[in-house]
Each structure stands twice: as structure tokens, then as C-alpha cells.
Chain A
Amino acid sequence: MNEQHETKQAEIQINGLENITGAEAILRCLVEEDVDTIFGYPGGAIMPVYDKLLDYSGKLRHILTRHEQGAAHAAQAYAMVTGKPGICFATSGPGATNLITGIANAYLDSVPMVFITAQVVSELIGTDAFQETDILGVSMPITKWNCQIKKPQDIPGTIARAFYIAKTGRPGPVLIDITKDAQFEKLLFRYKKCTYLRSYNPHLPLRKKAIESAAIMINHAEKPLILAGHGILISGAEKELKTFAEKTGIPVAVTLLGLSSFPCDHRLYAGLLGMHGNYGPNLMTNEADLIIAIGMRFDDRVTGNLKKYAKKARIIHIEIDEAEINKNVQVDLEIHNDAKEVLQHLIHLVKEKSYESWIREFRICDKIEFDKVIKAETSPEEGAIRMGEVVRLVSELTGDNAIIVTDVGQNQMSAARYYKFSSPGSFVTSGGMGTMGFGLPASIGAKIGNPGKQVIGFTGDGGFQMTMQELGTIMHYKIPVKIIILNNGYLGMVRQWQDMFFNKRYASTELVNPDFKIIADGYGIPARSISERGELKEALQQMLDAEGPFILDISVEKEGCVLPMVEPGASVSDVTLNYKS
């Protein structure tokens, strides 16, 4: 007995370093990186890590989702509301491949995440062993970086590197694959955060000359327009953007992921860009003589037909990722830097100005859009409940101050269009990837990341059923999220396209749905189904007042279309305002 005790002591301390297992080292690394929450799902190959996790429950909270995809989306939303990397565990083989949609989603939306997957024991790699997948090969095109660890002593260095890469520059997901034997074997643990890699240089020297040229272009512009993207939120440049816009008097349009980077009720707010964005900013893109694009990547959903995009404008592109510059749109001036650093410098070089008649053009567009689209969508007097009306009411009832999470499709576009975002980082959505099923697990992650705020997830009846099993996670951890199902009995956005571009041939878009209230009952989650306008406000209030989670299933107009729309292949100035199905 005594002898055993002595060897244990000897094992623990060698040269002042602790001798611990690879599994424990993984958790220690996470603690060193200030991680407190992990989303994941156990399985054979990752069991040593989960076993150790029991001893670390005081420092690391593990959220067991009901599917690895749910873990990935929840961790991404957690990262988006906290600004910290999202951490995700999964086992080898199917556990790892189930993450793929979530990894790809985070990659396209530049969200810092560290995925840790387990791998079969080293000597079995390459032999088609049970639950073996080449997850490095599979995830290579959708991660910022990935790496496999076969020896326990490589764990601290590689994890340190992973965090550094995920968080810096243009953030993104990284994946570390760790063999089961590396988890079992021991190492002398020592951790040092990574701050430098020879081949990777995210801290760029400020391009002062280019910024000076930008200031000259801005000071001479007559119809300038700012396009603010996700980069504003990632670099934390919301204040700088506001100061810059207010000093120069330039209107600010935002991309989908740039929403909430600039207050929607600001006099210089021009609106949302893109296919279902606002009329003004899309139309005026082709009137502007100067476009200042900050932290955005000219996605095809923003630009429409590139041949007819912003032809009257000179373009300044402020972007941290050099590969995005001149990728889709040829720019006149590139500033390859962090958005915040550029704005801080640029603010001092620009003149105070105002563009009253130019701003008035936006307000005229707003009026047209209100009369033709917004009025009927947000305050209809008859017919079925409209999506826009629900979102606008939620916006009012939450004082524009909730965190809004969405799924993908009409529910997403309605939430983006009609919620009046007032605080940065309050919109969580799947942008580049357009991942249906994102909404429910992302709502969970957002609420865990920011428990003090009301978190409302808008989803559709289609997307909800793609990850519906995460109701189990809500039940398990009593997560007080509010989920609104905008239920039209269709895959609404695809139906809209079939309506507009496929002669109304509704191929596989009508859904036969279960009773969502009964499903929620099964999970013990309070729920209500409504279809009458008269009940709407009161039902929303009931949902918001609920202490715990609440699911509100709202039957909305079955064949509603989200308008305006820049139709595929059309120019941004060729906006469809009227469409009768």
C-alpha cells in the first residue's frame, strides 16, 4: 500500500513538472486558454478525455448535445456572443464526420473554434479500423488549420498553436485529431501560450500610405457609402465605425453578418445589403461614387450580378484577409489590415461633412419600400399572420435588446429585415453556408454564452426538424431559450423560388408536420401553438415572461414571399418590390 503511494508521488512530480495523461493534458490546456464551456458528445475513442472531464467539472462545463452537429452549431453561437473560441469534442469516425456541417459553417463565417476529435490508436490508423475516418483529409478544405497528435508530449504545443491560429487574423475553425493512445500515455506537462508562428503573420503593419489615400478619396466623394461587414464585429470596431460615420456623415449599409455592428435606428443607417436586403442600400450601391467596404467579402448574395455592380463607384476595401481583396470585385484601393486599426487611424484624416441630399435619396427609397413591402408585412390588417409582423412585435416587446438567433430561409431573412438591432453581436445566423438546422442548437449556445440576455431563436418548420433532437439538450440543462417556429407548412424560401422561377411547381417543398406542441410536451418544455392575429401579442408576451424555455409555434401565411428581392443574376439596382404569387 505504502509502496504504491510512493510511486504515485514520484510519477506526479519530475523536475517540478507534473506527469499526467494526454487526456488530462488536453483539459489542462483548455483551462490554460480560459475555456469554461465545452460542447460535445462522447464515444469510444474519446473516452479517456471524458473520464478525466469528471475530475474537471468544477472548471470545465460540458454540454452534452444530442448530435455532434448540434454541438458544433451551439459552440459556434457561443463563440459569436462571447468573442471566445467555441470548443467542441467528438469521437472518431461518425462523431467526427457529424461535425463537418458545423465546421464548414464556422469556416465560411470566420468564427474562432477549436474542434477536438479523437482518433483510433496509432497503429490502427490507415487500416480501416472500427470508427476510423481520415478526418484530417475530410476537414482540410473547411478548417483554417488542422493537425493530428499521436504522441502525448505534442499535446500542449499543438493546442497552444490551435488557439493562436483560431483567434488571430481572420478567425476560423481549427481541428485537432488525437489518437486514443496519446490520450492514455503520460507526459510531463508544461503549457506556454503560442504567440508566434514563422509562416503565419496575422499582425500586419498598418498601411498608413493607403489609409492617407483613402482619406483623400473620402474627403472628395460626393456620394459615398460604407459597407460594413462581419469584420467590424470581429475586430470590435463598432465604436470606431460609428465615430467615423458620424464625422464624415457617410451612410452605413450592413451585410447580413454585419447586422448589429451599427444601430438600426441611427440616422445614418442605410439598411441591410443583399438579395433580401433593403431597397435603398442595394439601389444606391449603383449610384454611389465611392464605396468604403470594411470587413466584408463581396459575397454573391451581396453583389448580385458582378458585371453590373457599383460601376459608378471607386472602391476602397479594408480587409484583413488578403485573399479576399480583388477576389470578386476589382477594387481601386486596398487596405490589407484590421478594420479597427484602420478606422482608428483614418478617423483623424477625414473631414467633417454631411451629405443631406444623398441621405435624402436613401430616405425616399425607405419610403417606397415601406409603402410597397414593409407596411403590409409588419402591420397587416387581414389574412394570416405574417413573419415580418411577428419579428417586429418581438423587436418592440424586447426593447430591441434581445439576442436574435435564426435558422435559414424566410425566417432568417424576416428576422434580419425587421428586428431593430441596437447592440453589437446580437445577431447570430448562418450566413455563408446557409445551414438549415442551425437555429435551435445555435440558440442554446447563444444563451449559454450570454445567460443574462433574452435569447430568441427564429426558425421554420423545416429547419426546426433538422436538429429538433436538441430539445433534449434544452430539457437536460434547463436552458431558458425562447424558440419561435414560423410555421408555414413549406420549405418557405425554396417554395418562394419555385413560385417565382419554376412556374409554381412545388416539388418536394410542402411539409407534413407533427404537432410541435406535443413534441415540446414530450420534452417537458412549455409550448403553445397559435394561428390567430388576436393571440399574437399576448402569446409572445407569455413566451418572454416564461422563466424557463418556451416554444411558440406560430402558423403564418403559407405562401408568403420575402421581398424586396434582387433576383439571381440581376443587378443590385434591379430590385423586385412587387410580386403576387
Chain B
Amino acid sequence: MGKQEFTISIFSEDHIGILNQITIILTRRQINIESITASESVVKGVQLLTLVVKASPDMVRKVAKQIEKLVDVLKVFVHSSDEIIYQAIALYKVKTNGLMSGNIIDSIVRNHHARILVVSPEYTVIEKTGHKTEINDLLNHLEPYGLLQFACSGRVAVTKQVKELNAYLSEMDGADRYRNENIELFEKN
């Protein structure tokens, strides 16, 4: 089976070391992380890690189960790119004088749906939000004008599916027949 791009969304407790536990599982299977983003999720106290990996569907399924097995992980979703809405953000720092001749800067920004964040005599910072190919397109366009810096974030994604995390969580709670009514969560200090 050939390698494909997958987005793995991991909802976990916000505990120290959780990222380490996840990367251990990926490293064992020699899977490289293409990008990674950590953020809060819609559920309070639950952290969302969004990973992009290239692997065979079979392998990514196995790895996702092993990640979900981690005690501090609540739920893992694996999606192919057509099942999610996703974006990354990139910042480009270019020499201002290189762009100032004619209307180049204006047309580049306009054509790529980017925007200018900062203009100074020395440099201009352009921001672009989009998919990786779009971000790379702009990068190629800007390169001839003297690129000083380039940085791109990891992917953030939401799913097209209707069932939300909260529904899964309440299902899990409901399934726990041994659940004590006087739950005392041992919160970490």
C-alpha cells in the first residue's frame, strides 16, 4: 500500500509528556511528522494536537489505535484531506526595495489572497493563509525579490463530519457502567 497524507487529530488531557508518548509511537513505526499544531479544543481542559503524517492507510489506522490507547488520550480521529477543512499560515519577510519597483507587490498580494502585515524601509512582511501548495506557490513567486525569512505553521483542521467530540465524550461516559457518581477528578496542580 502506498503512502498517503493523513491528518491525525488527537484530543488529550493537557498533561506534561503527552507529546513525548505520541512521538514514541510514531518513531517506533518510522513515521515522520510533517507538521504538528497544539491548541485548546472546544471542550474545556482538553488539548487538541493536529498531526500531518504520510503513511499507508493500514499503518496509520494501527498507529491511531495505539495513540488512543494512551491513558491520557481521550479520542483520536484519522482523516484524509478531503474529509476536513484545513489551513496553515505562513509569514514571508522580503526586501522592501525589491518589491517597490512598479506594481509587483500589489499584484502578488492580490493574486495570492495574501496580505501585508508590516512595511518598513528595509523589509516587508506578508502573511498568507491556505493550503501548503498555495503557500509554496507564493514562496516561489517571492523568491526572486530577495526572501529574507520564511516560516510556516503546522496544519489546523476541523472535520466535515457532523458528530462532534462532545458527543463521543458523553458516549464514553455513558458506557462506563462502573462510573462512580461522586466523581473526584484528581486534578494536577
Is there contact, CB below 8 Å, between B188 and A195?
no
B65 close to A323 (CB less than 8 A): yes
A326 to B71, CA, bound (A): 21
Cα distance A325–B24 in the bound complex, in angstroms: 20
- Asked if A157 is at the interface (CB within 8 A of a chain B CB), the reply is yes
Docked Cα-Cα span, A401 to B74, in Å, equals: 44
| A140, B12: Cβ atoms closer than 8 Å | no
| Distance from B157 Cβ to chain A, minimum over Cβ atoms (Å) | 21
Instruction: Say whether B183 faces chain A, with CB atoms less than 8 Å apart.
Output: yes
Question: In the bound complex, do residue B186 and residue A136 qualify as a contact, i.e. CB atoms below 8 Å apart?
Answer: no
Quick one: given A154-B189, A322-B68, are A196 and B13 in contact (CB under 8 Å)? no
Question: Distance (Å) between the CB of A433 and the closest chain B CB?
Answer: 16
Tell me if A512 is interfacial: C-beta within 8 Å of chain B.
no
CB neighbours (8 Å) of B20 from chain A are: 137, 140
**A323 and B76 alpha carbons, distance in the complex (Å):** 12
Asked if A192 and B13 make an inter-chain contact with CB atoms under 8 angstroms apart, the answer reads no
Q: Look across to chain A and name the residue whose beta carbon is closest to the beta carbon of B45.
A: A198
**Count of interface residues, chain B, beta-carbon cutoff 8 Å:** 32
* Contact assessment for B71 and A322 in the assembled complex, using a CB-CB cutoff below 8 Å: no
B141 within 8 A of A: no
How far is B173's CA from A195's CA once the two chains are assembled, in angstroms? 12
Q: From residue A260, how far is it (CB to closest CB) to chain B in Å? A: 27
B68 touches A195 (CB 8 A): no
Residue of B nearest to A206 (CB): B177
In the bound complex, residues from chain B placing their C-beta under 8 Å from that of A160 are: 186
A contact residues around B28 at 8 Å (CB) = 141
Interface centre among B61, B73, B179, B184 (most CB of A within 10 A): B184
* Cross-interface CB contact of A145 among B24, B71, B185, cutoff 8 Å: B71
Restricting to A188-224, which residues have a CB under 8 Å from any CB of B?
Answer: 192, 194-201, 203-205
**Contact: B12 with A199, CB < 8 Å?**
yes
CB–CB B172/A201 < 8 A? yes
Q: In the assembled complex, which residues on chain B have CB atoms less than 8 Å from the CB atom of A194?
A: 186
Q: A141-B24, A203-B177, A323-B65 are in contact. Are A161 and B74 (CB under 8 A)?
A: no
Q: Is the CB of A165 within 8 A of B71?
A: yes
Which single member of B17, B179, B183 contacts A140 (CB below 8 Å)?
Answer: B17
Do A199 and B175 have beta carbons less than 8 Å apart? no
Chain A's closest residue to B63 (CB) is A323
Cα-based distance from A55 to B183 in the complex (angstroms): 33
Residues of B contacting A323 in the complex (Cβ-Cβ under 8 angstroms): 62, 65-66, 68-69
Given A140-B21, A198-B13: A205 and B188 interface contact (C-beta under 8 Å): no
Q: Which residues of A contact B69 (CB under 8 A)?
A: 321-323
- Residues in B137-189 with C-beta less than 8 Å from chain A: 169, 172-173, 175-180, 183-186, 188-189
| B177 lies within 8 A of A205 (CB) | yes
CB pair A204 B178 closer than 8 Å: no
Smallest CB gap from B43: residue in A: A198
Task: Tell me if A327 is interfacial: C-beta within 8 Å of chain B.
Answer: yes
Across the interface, do B175 and A196 meet the contact criterion of CB distance under 8 Å?
no
Q: How far is the CA of A137 from the CA of B73 in the complex (A)?
A: 18
Decide if A196 touches B180 in the complex (CB within 8 Å).
yes
Q: What A residues does B66 contact at CB under 8 A?
A: 323
**Within A535-572, which residues are at the interface with B (CB < 8 Å)?**
none
Q: A165-B71, A321-B69 are in contact. Are A154 and B188 (CB under 8 A)?
A: yes
Q: Take A323-B66, A327-B62 as given contacts and tell me if A195 and B74 are in contact as well, using a CB distance cutoff of 8 Å.
A: no
Q: Does A151 reach chain B (CB closer than 8 Å)? A: yes
User: Any chain A CB within 8 A of the CB of B72?
Assistant: yes
Q: Say whether A200 contacts B71, CB under 8 Å.
A: yes
A470 to B84 alpha-carbon distance, docked (Å)? 58
Question: Could you tell me the distance between the alpha carbons of A323 and B66 in the complex, rounded to whole angstroms?
Answer: 5
Once the chains are docked, how many angstroms separate the CA of A160 from the CA of B21?
Answer: 22
What residues of chain B lie closer than 8 Å to A317, measured between beta carbons? none
B72–A199 touching, CB < 8 Å: yes
Q: For residue B68, which residues in chain A have a CB less than 8 angstroms away from its CB?
A: 322-323
Is the CB–CB distance between A199 and B17 below 8 Å?
no
Q: Is the CB of B24 within 8 A of A205?
A: no
CA distance in complex: A140, B177 (Å) = 29
Q: Are B73 and A199 in contact, CB atoms less than 8 angstroms apart?
A: yes
Q: Is A144 an interface residue, CB under 8 A from the partner?
A: yes
Assess the A201–B188 pair: CB atoms within 8 A. no
Report the bound CA distance from A140 to B24 in whole Å. 8
Instruction: Identify which of A157, A199, A204, A326 contacts B186 (C-beta below 8 A).
Output: A157
Q: Which residues of B contact A305 (CB under 8 A)?
A: none
Q: Which residues of A contact B178 (CB under 8 A)?
A: 195-196, 203
B71–A195 CB distance below 8 A: no
On chain B, the residues within 8 Å of A321 by CB distance are 69
Once the chains bind, are A198 and B62 in contact (CB under 8 Å)?
no
Cβ–Cβ contact B179 & A196, under 8 A: yes
Give complex CA distance A203, B69 in Å: 13
A154-171 to B contact mask, C-beta < 8 Å, 1/0: 100110110001000000
**A203 CA to B24 CA in the complex, in Å?**
26
B6 to chain A, nearest CB (A): 17
Residues of B within 8 A of A161 (CB): 186
Is A192 a contact of B184 with CB atoms below 8 Å? Answer: yes
Closest B residue to A324 by beta carbon equals B65
> Given A157-B186, A197-B71, A327-B62, 5 other A-B contacts at CB below 8 A?
A194-B186, A196-B180, A199-B13, A323-B62, A325-B65
In the complex, 24 of the A-B residue pairs with CB atoms within 8 angstroms, ordered by the A residue number, are: A137-B20, A141-B24, A144-B71, A145-B71, A145-B72, A153-B189, A195-B183, A196-B176, A196-B179, A196-B180, A196-B185, A198-B169, A198-B173, A199-B12, A200-B72, A201-B172, A321-B69, A322-B65, A322-B68, A323-B62, A323-B68, A325-B65, A327-B62, A327-B65
